Amino acid sequence: MKIASKYRAFILLALSLSLIVACKHDPEIVVAPDPDPTLCDTITVTYELTVKPILEANCFSCHNAGNPSGGIDLTDFSKLTSLAADGKLMGSIKHLNGYSPMPQGSNRLSDCDIAKIDKWIRINDFKPDDPDPEPVGCHPDTVYFQNEILPLLISSCGVIGCHDPGTAQDGIVLTDYASVISTADVRPGNPEGSDLYEVLIEDDPDKRMPPLPNAPLSQDKIAKIRKWIEQGALNNSCEEINCDTTQVSFATHIMPVVQLHCLGCHSGNNPGAGIMLTNYNEIASAAGNGSLFAAITWQNGFSPMPKNGNQLSSCNITQFKKWIENGTPDN
């Protein structure tokens, strides 16, 4: 495995450094502690320290100025950010439908590397013509696709066996922006003319989505989708700039995140991994045994959650961490 060999190289380097230290008796050289290979640190992500090394190891050989495979030079930062902005970068490394799976001819990147690149794209909110990307704060009147609509579609419709890339019932895939727009007939500004919205408000229970025996989406969620289409059905996102991590409460911070990002797959007759996340007791029990936090931080050995989706925001992850550290109170 690539990661394992990286750490082996690191340990060898650390060992040889410590030999040098031992010979020279030089107290100035400090050997970094061995990183814990089970942790995926996506808290601090930068281009130079995080993203570039991943691309150097896996992509630059085929995508440099002298050899731009597919016309793509990934060492060109503006090219990279434009691929990030139009979804191609994530589509290709996540092996989503409709993109060429990258790195070509090799295994998919580790979930941790994918999480880091994903985080980098989202915190910088790359847009094709934005030379100096800044995180965008969330405006209360705007509905953001990446923050609110995509998680809802993934957990209520992109469920395995329905509109996930592997099944694609009726040719419809609802797990990434490009597929949502192209396969669910979304007409920006016109919810009534958009299949995605029409099927949610359908009176005929045989045609309504999600189909029986699933419950219809809540009025609140349907209204969000309507508003997002009215606002132009953009591939937009925002970052919670005022992240409240001091007074974390189950009702205010934890439950709404689970309802938006997890509930659709962790309820009903066939919940993912047999884990129900519909109420306080169920969520506290998944949090108490460590699997919930390991899954949302995409730790090695756990299935990364939300399945098929982007990682939760670092604000949400910090709130889960605080709530768990506080002993998962029902507050």
Q: Which residue is nearest to ligand HEC (CB)?
A: 272
Phi-psi region of 71 (alpha: psi -120 to 50; beta: other; left: phi over 0): left
Taking the complex as a whole, how short is the minimal distance between the CB of residue 274 and ligand HEC, in angstroms? 8
Q: Which amino acid is at 284?
A: A
Residue whose C-alpha is closest to residue 154's, from 124, 127, 182, 177: 177
CA 165/CA 175 separation, integer angstroms:
7
CA 138 to chain centre: 18
Query: Whose Cβ is closer to ligand HEC: residue 233's or residue 263's?
Result: 263
The reply on whether position 221 binds ligand HEC by CB under 6 A is no
The correct pick among 305, 311, 319, 323 for binding ligand HEC (CB under 6 A) is: 305
Rg (CA), the chain: 22
Q: Please, which residues have CB within 8 angstroms of residue 113's CB and are 6 or more apart in sequence?
A: 54, 58
Instruction: Please state, as a whole number, how many other Cβ atoms lie within 10 Å of the Cβ of residue 228.
Output: 24
Binding mask 50-89 for ligand HEC (x = CB under 6 A): --------xx-xxx-----xx-x----------x----xx
Binding mask 102-141 for ligand HEC (x = CB under 6 A): xxxx---x--------------------------------
Taking the complex as a whole, how short is the minimal distance between the CB of residue 192 and ligand HEC, in angstroms? 28
Query: Whose Cβ is closer to ligand HEC: residue 29's or residue 215's?
Result: 215
The reply on whether position 302 binds ligand HEC by CB under 6 A is yes
Q: Residue 156 corresponds to which tokens in the numbers above? A: 């209520």
Contacts with ligand HEC by CB under 6 A lie at 58-59, 61-63, 69-70, 72, 83, 88-89, 92-93, 99-100, 102-105, 109, 154-155, 158-160, 261-262, 265-266, 272-273, 275, 286, 291-292, 295-296, 302-303, 305-309, 312
